[in-house]
Amino acid sequence: MLELAILGLLQEAPMHGYELRKELAAKLGAIRAAISYGSLYPTLRRLQAAGWITEAAETPATAEEVPALTSRRGRVVYTITAEGKERFAQLIAQAGPETYDDTGFGVHFAFFARTDQATRLRILEGRRRKIEERREGLRDVLGRAAERLDAYTLELQRHGLEACEREVRWLEELIANERSGRAPTVPEAGTAGGRRENDSPPPPGESRKERP
Amino acid sequence: MLELAILGLLQEAPMHGYELRKELAAKLGAIRAAISYGSLYPTLRRLQAAGWITEAAETPATAEEVPALTSRRGRVVYTITAEGKERFAQLIAQAGPETYDDTGFGVHFAFFARTDQATRLRILEGRRRKIEERREGLRDVLGRAAERLDAYTLELQRHGLEACEREVRWLEELIANERSGRAPTVPEAGTAGGRRENDSPPPPGESRKERP
DNA sequence: GCCGCGATGTATCGGACCGATACATCGCAC
DNA sequence: GTGCGATGTATCGGTCCGATACATCGCGGC
């Protein structure tokens, strides 16, 4: 999962570790806390060893003397390689079971702008199926095993069930949207904004406004 | 977290591993998938080594002959010890930061029937605080960094924000209930035979709502 | 009779990820 | 001129997961 997220982010711009973590937190803030350095740095090394990314130390040019005195440690900027982009595309397209768990789905969804429509649809439907299964499980427990459980546990299940139902509805909307052509959700599309974000393929909606 | 969950469950009845996993899945189905055996068995051994639980092999009495021939492997039933109950109480009462993340809160909540009211309140408020922080983070991103992100990522954030708002409302209700209502106190375990488990009276939520 | 097959049951192993910790630099306010 | 928070790289121990292996049991089909 981390691998996919890193490759995805580095496709937008080269970054160093700290930046990567912040961007990741911004992009995935809805589904998980900030990534740990204890995962990030080892993963970066692994990706580099595999050739998916390259590392470029940011030394202040011509480090003449003082070769080993306190050895200034510059920032290390990582750049994705062509092989890395290939790898990313492959990871995005092939969906394992982990693609549909909370984190996996979130990461995939966050990179939907770089995913073709067929794959988007497949992932959304897979996720819906999974959530529906969870929902049925909760309904079973609430229906059949209700007497065995205390009031708090039941309340927890009930809240979980509600969350499932909401997510299914959300996914239905997204799926319908996806099938009918474009755009997740449609707020008013005013604001003639100079589009940035250049290269990525047809982005679904336009800028959303609504400031409360 | 697993430790807490196991100690909590074993307080309701002695169980073997497989059963433990199923009960855990039923009780925590709303917040996480079934626990892995790769976590369960090592944890059981750890708990046993610490003296919180004891293991009683279920051999079919008088195993007369065939002492080492295919060596029938009976089920291993675990029982919580007095020290284990103490440990459980301690784990429930002392709240670290991990108490408020998704899984940690879920596990604590699932054992609220064995938690005193003051602690319940503390945990609910801690959780609310944490979710409010996440909510503010999402609002920030949606407000300030909206132009930097594509429509799908924004939609993810928006959905996450909504989930946060809903959970805060849910927590508010529970907190109000906890404050004004009487304490649904511990269904003090066992003693004489036929357990009914039904006795923790005032349920947190109000009347169940619509049935589709 | 016996064969497969799904549920029950115990167990290990490698790997992913986290939380705590350490250490160094930089800019800025006091 | 000094503390202090943000920036920045890195490791270590520990928790938990997913895949895998293996054994027993009851049941239905052939």
Q: What is the pLDDT of residue A207?
A: 44
Residue of B30, B150, B154 lying closest to A138 (CB–CB): B30
Q: How far apart are CA A207 and CA A58, in angstroms?
A: 35
Q: How far apart are CA B99 and CA B6, in angstroms?
A: 16
End-to-end CA distance of chain B: 35
Q: Is the CB of A59 under 7 A from strand D?
A: no
For chain A, how big is the Rg over CA atoms in Å? Answer: 22
Strand D closer than 7 A to residue A37 Cβ: yes
Question: Any chain B CB within 8 A of the CB of A208?
Answer: yes
Does residue A55 sit in helix, strand or coil?
A: strand
Chain A: closest CA distance from residue B110 (Å):
5
* Min distance B187 CA to chain A CA atoms (Å): 9
Say if B182 is an interface residue toward chain A (CB within 8 Å). Answer: no
Which residues are within 7 Å of strand C by their Cβ atom?
A: A 1-3, 32-33, 35-39, 42-43, 46, 70, 72-73; B 16-19, 36-38, 41-42, 45, 73, 75-77, 96-98, 101
**How far is B168 from B172, CA to CA, in rounded Å?**
6
Can you list the alpha helix ranges (DSSP code H) found in chain A?
2-10, 17-28, 37-50, 82-93, 102-110, 117-144, 151-179
Whether the model clears a pTM of 0.85, i.e. scores above it, the answer is no
Closest nucleotide over all strands to A15 (CA to C1'): D8
Between chains, do B152 and A110 touch, taking CB under 8 Å as contact? yes
Token digits of residue B147: 């132009």
Helices B2-10 and B102-110 pack at an angle, to 10 degrees, of 10
Q: What are the pLDDT tens digits along chain B (212 aa)? A: 999 999 999 999 999 999 999 999 999 999 998 999 999 999 999 999 999 999 986 654 444 444 444 445 678 899 999 999 999 999 999 888 899 999 999 999 999 999 999 999 999 999 999 999 999 999 988 988 778 889 999 999 999 999 999 999 999 999 999 998 755 544 444 444 444 444 444 445 444 444 43
Q: Does B200 touch chain A (CB under 8 A)?
A: yes
Q: What's CA B58's distance to the chain center, in Å?
A: 28
Phi, psi of B194 (to 5 degrees): -65, 95
Instruction: Tell me whether residues A163 and B161 touch, CB distance under 8 A.
Output: no
DSSP bridge partners of B53: B80
CATH (one of 1.10.10.10, 1.10.3720.10, 2.30.110.10, 3.50.50.60) for A2-59+75-96: 1.10.10.10
**How many CB atoms within 10 Å of residue A17?**
16
Token couple for B197: 């488990």
CA within 13 Å, CB half, B57: 8
Is A7 in contact with A88 (CB distance < 8 Å)? yes
Mutate to test the interface with A, among B120, B124, B156 (most CBs of A within 10 A): B156
The structure tokens 């299940």 sit at: A157
With CA of A57 and C1' of each nucleotide, the nearest comes out as D9
Q: What are the backbone angles phi and psi of residue B65, rounded to the nearest 5°?
A: -85, -160
Cα separation, A134 vs A160, whole angstroms: 9
Asked if A152 lies within 8 A of B33 by C-beta distance, the reply is: no
Tell me which chain B residues have a C-beta less than 8 angstroms from the C-beta of A148.
197
Alpha-carbon distance of B89 to B171, in angstroms, equals 23
Per-residue pLDDT of chain A (212 residues; tens, 9 = 90+): 999 999 999 999 999 999 999 999 999 999 998 999 999 999 999 999 999 999 987 654 444 444 444 445 678 899 999 999 999 999 999 888 899 999 999 999 999 999 999 999 999 999 999 999 999 999 988 988 778 889 999 999 999 999 999 999 999 999 999 998 765 544 444 444 444 444 444 445 444 444 43
Angstrom CA distances, A9 to A40, A113, A155, B150, stand at 13, 12, 39, 12
Q: Token digits for A61?
A: 């040019």
Q: Within 7 Å: CB of A42 and strand D?
A: yes
What kind of fold does domain B1-59+74-96 have according to CATH? Arc Repressor Mutant, subunit A (1.10.10)
pLDDT of residue B184: 54
- Short-list A6, A18, A2, A28, CA closest to A81: A6
- According to DSSP, the residues that pair with A56 across neighbouring strands are A77
